[in-house]
Amino acid sequence: MPRQNQQLHPHREPATPLDAATVLLLRDAPQPGGASALEVLMTRRSDKASFVPGAYVFPGGGIEPQDADPASHALADHRPAQDAARLTDAMAAIRESFEELGVLLARRADGSWADADDIAALERKPAPGTTFAAQCAARGLRLAADAVYQLAHWTGDRNLPKRFAVPFLVARMPAGQEPVADESEQFEPVWVRPADALARHEAGQFFMIFPTIRTLQRLAQFADVDAVLAAVAGEKPLWVSSPRSGLLGGKEARFMEHEPPYGELALVTPTGRSEHALDWQSETPVPLLRNVQRLTAPNPGVMTGPGTNSYLVGDPGTGYIAIDPGPADLAHLERLWRAAGGDIRMIACTHSHADHSPGAAPLQAMVAAHGRPKPPILGLPSAPTARAASQFTPDRALQSGELLALTGQAPEGRITHTLEVVHTPGHAANHLCLLLREDGLLFSGDHILNGSTTVIDPPDGNMADYLDSLDRLDALCAVHGVEFILPAHGYVLGEARAAIARLKAHRLAREAKVLAAMQALPEGSMDDWVRLAYDDVPPRMWPVAQRSLLAHVERIRMLEPGND
């Protein structure tokens, strides 16, 4: 973890989440032409509600002591896999759906669903001393907790003053029942197709909050109720999320764990704030920690994404190491120089490609021209396999395991920032990564990117070396407790080891498709194979994908018996 004294913001403990539960009641509704479509029951919250007034939501609410009472649990049917906590969630969702909408997930002794007469006989708010479950039991009904499954789990963003920890449950709407809102907490019950609800929200006609929107986006992928229930039959939520928020275009935006900005928000605002701007720009440095700044070069494109990230590690008391100064863009280099106050002690290049190393020499000259000692350009020289545009000769070649240290005086005393050099061939023969030991940050160059996979372009690129380097980085992250990866393109990645594992799995899955294409068309060309192995990639990207396909082909042939 980064040192506390390097965080940009003082620690602020997020509000403790309150336990609640919500349920998505589903049905298959007839459509014109004889087809059916999945619909979900939603309702509008009171305009005077303390939480998200006026929003369209799924029925639900806070978990009450009666929901967790073993005596109430004994009055419900449940599956063997539903432990006490899951049963409590289901009890709360069943109770809330009845209180708010008059929908009763309960069965008679003969197994038939409760009907309108049963519903009319029950009080939505039982008298004190009587639980909802006991009231149902007195009517000869058992609560159908066994018909309620967990779809997802949401915990409110850490920046919210009031947060809830909420399992989102799903159940099929009982036949013969009609929802009737309580007209105090909930209004206007409506059956709606997920895609239609999303479209109406986009048009400003159907206000919903982030978890509701994202849940509907996932739900829209299912054709019918059976498909949803089959997906959740494994008794595990399909996703678990505690969103994080930042600023895009000056407005608050929230992101889930799988989305590119999430890791960066976890690094910069770990306990939850909506202050970090996520807009890509090249004019001003972006502080990530007190000792780490990012400046993105103005070279966006298909291969570079939003541009090449240059990083400054250090502080005014220690001076700075510049990582990947980028292309020889003088305006970008001057911004980099100014962000360091002119005090750049070293310039490190992760590799020799044209969007990473050409800025090193002019940046070095800029520093020297203003009276500072000339910072050495560090890295690994380009190999003979490098393309002509990627020729690079550093002032000094780095060794894997070497330490680059900055030491100086800070307000809190003596401080050191140490970068460990790790040779990681694969994307390029001379590629290296840098580990900031004190803060557990990995600067990954092009070896690991956020939002895309790097191209492995033989002969300088090598897939076997690339995968071996991933294993080396994973081991290093385990030893040093690395949680964040700072790539040369894209936002910071969180959960470093999980990100590496996903990347390796993706590469091996792609290699399996390459092998299948080769076996299906043994006499095929590279063009034939790329069409099969990269059928999930836009055809305009196939010429680029073909480079990595060649790297996979080389590794497959290397692994063939007799080639070891």
**pLDDT tens, position by position, 253-302:** 999 999 999 999 999 999 998 899 999 999 999 999 999 999 999 999 98
Quote the mean pLDDT of the chain.
94
What's the CA gap between 59 and 420, in Å, rounded? 53
437 burial (CB, 10 Å; 0-12 / 13-18 / 19+) is: middle
- CA atoms of 31 and 20, how far apart (whole Å): 34
Choose the final residue of a domain: 452, 473, 497. Answer: 497
Do 343 and 371 lie in a common domain? yes
Q: What is the reported pLDDT for 46?
A: 81
On the question of pLDDT at 102 being above 80, the answer is yes
Alpha-carbon torsion, ordered 278, 281, 282, 284, to 10 deg: -60
Residue at 144 is within a domain: yes
| pLDDT for residue 549 is more than 80 | yes
The one-letter amino acid at 145: A
258 to each of 141, 244, 255, how far by Cα in Å? 42, 11, 8
pLDDT of residue 62 exceeding 80: yes
pLDDT over threshold 90, residue 149: yes
Residue ending a domain, among 279, 301, 328, is: 279
Q: What does the pLDDT read at residue 34? A: 73
Is 6 inside a domain boundary?
no
Q: Could you give the percent of the chain with pLDDT greater than 70? A: 99
Higher pLDDT, 436 or 52: 436
Q: In this predicted structure, which of 93-97, 186-190, 457-461 has the lowest mean pLDDT? A: 186-190
Q: Are residues 24 and 151 in the same domain?
A: yes
CA distance 447 to 437: 19
Across the range 104-120, mean pLDDT stands at: 94
How confident is the model over 485-494, as a mean pLDDT?
98
Mean pLDDT score, 167-195 = 90
Q: Is the same domain home to 441 and 531?
A: no
Domain assignment of residue 530, given as a range: 508-559
Residues 423, 373 within the same domain: yes
> Do residues 394 and 462 share a domain?
yes
Decide if 33 is inside a domain: yes
Domain termination residue (choose one: 252, 279, 306): 279
pLDDT at 81 over 80: yes
> Both ends of the chain: CA-CA distance in Å?
41
Indicate the pLDDT class of residue 126, thresholds 50, 70 and 90. confident
Do residues 399 and 421 touch, judged by C-beta distance below 8 A? yes
With 60 as the cut, is the pLDDT of residue 564 above it? no
Asked if residue 297 and residue 250 are part of one domain, the reply reads no
What was the pLDDT predicted at 562? 64
Residue 460 CA from chain centroid, whole number = 32
What is the pLDDT at residue 36?
85
Q: Which CATH number goes with the domain that contains 463?
A: 3.60.15.10
Does residue 229 form part of some domain? yes
Q: What is the pLDDT of residue 129?
A: 81
Residue 466 lies in a domain: yes
Q: For the residues 419-433, what does the mean pLDDT come to?
A: 98
Q: What pLDDT does residue 563 have? A: 65
Are 437 and 339 part of one and the same domain?
yes
Judge whether residue 147 has pLDDT over 80: yes
* Whether 404 and 486 share a structural domain: yes
Q: Please name the residues in contact with 111: beta carbons below 8 A apart, sequence gap of 6 or more.
A: none
Q: How many domains does the chain have?
A: 4
Please tell me whether residues 395 and 519 are part of one structural domain: no
Does residue 5 lie in a domain region? no
Q: Does residue 564 lie in a domain region?
A: no
Domain of 50, CATH number, reads 3.90.79.10
Amino acid identity of 213? I
Indicate if 254 and 329 belong to the same structural domain: no
Same domain? 402 vs 472: yes
Clarify whether residues 467 and 541 are in a common domain.
Answer: no
Above 60 in pLDDT, residue 344?
yes
> How far apart are alpha carbons 434 and 347 in whole angstroms?
12
Q: What is the pLDDT of residue 1?
A: 85
**Residue 13 within any structural domain of the chain:** no
- Sequence-distant (6+) residues with CB within 8 A of 363 are 322, 325, 333, 336, 337, 344, 347
Tell if the pTM clears 0.95, that is, is over it: no
Q: Residue 186 pLDDT > 80, yes or no? A: no
